[in-house]
């Protein structure tokens, strides 16, 4: 027998989920929409949650395609942070960080419109020891110039 959650519990869960997702966004705006649009958006969101939760193991086996190099990569070899949802292969991230550091620039997310500054901690698993040392040196130089 399947027990259905009470509507109040569902709403509370959805409100908490929206709060959690909004914390990950750089910009969000509340917009009033028609009831039919809300139902449609709710159905799409529910379908997405179900598809993501059921396809996690499939994705890990199949991999993902990096939008920069268009290479298919095993999902656990894709770089991402908790603060934005953009995903790229380790190789592209490593090359990008290296170019930025050689230019004296703190790397940001590889997505053109995302302004999230990457951190050494978030990138350390994809960087070589030389790149880590270069980034640490950049941080020292930045702190001394202030």
CA separation for the pair 17, 9 (Å, rounded): 12
Could you tell me if 111 and 44 lie in one domain? no
Q: Which structural domain range is residue 79 located in?
A: 65-144
Give the whole-number percent of the chain exceeding pLDDT 90. Answer: 6
pLDDT at 4: 52
What are the pLDDT digits (tens) for 84-104? 888 899 999 999 999 888 888
pLDDT at 61: 53
Q: Does residue 107 contact residue 96 with C-beta atoms inside 8 Å?
A: yes
CA separation for the pair 127, 144 (Å, rounded): 24
Give me the number of domains the chain comprises: 2
pLDDT at 54: 54
Could you tell me if 56 and 70 lie in one domain? no
Q: Does residue 79 contact residue 88 with C-beta atoms inside 8 Å?
A: yes
Could you tell me if 105 and 121 lie in one domain? yes
Whether the model clears a pTM of 0.85, i.e. scores above it, the answer is no
């Amino acid at each position: 027998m399947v027990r259905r959650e009470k509507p109040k519990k569902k709403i509370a869960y959805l409100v908490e989920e929206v709060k959690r997702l909004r914390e990950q966004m750089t910009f969000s705006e509340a917009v009033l929409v028609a009831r039919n649009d809300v139902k449609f958006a709710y159905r799409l969101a529910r379908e997405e949650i179900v598809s993501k939760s059921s396809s996690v193991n499939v994705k890990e086996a199949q991999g993902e395609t990096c939008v920069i190099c268009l290479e298919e990569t095993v999902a656990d070899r894709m770089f991402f942070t908790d603060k934005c949802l953009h995903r790229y292969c380790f190789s592209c991230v490593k090359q990008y960080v290296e170019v930025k550091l050689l230019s004296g620039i703190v790397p940001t997310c590889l997505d053109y419109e995302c302004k999230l500054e990457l951190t050494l901690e978030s990138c350390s698993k994809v960087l070589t020891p030389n790149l880590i040392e270069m980034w640490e040196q950049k941080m020292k130089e930045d702190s001394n110039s202030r």
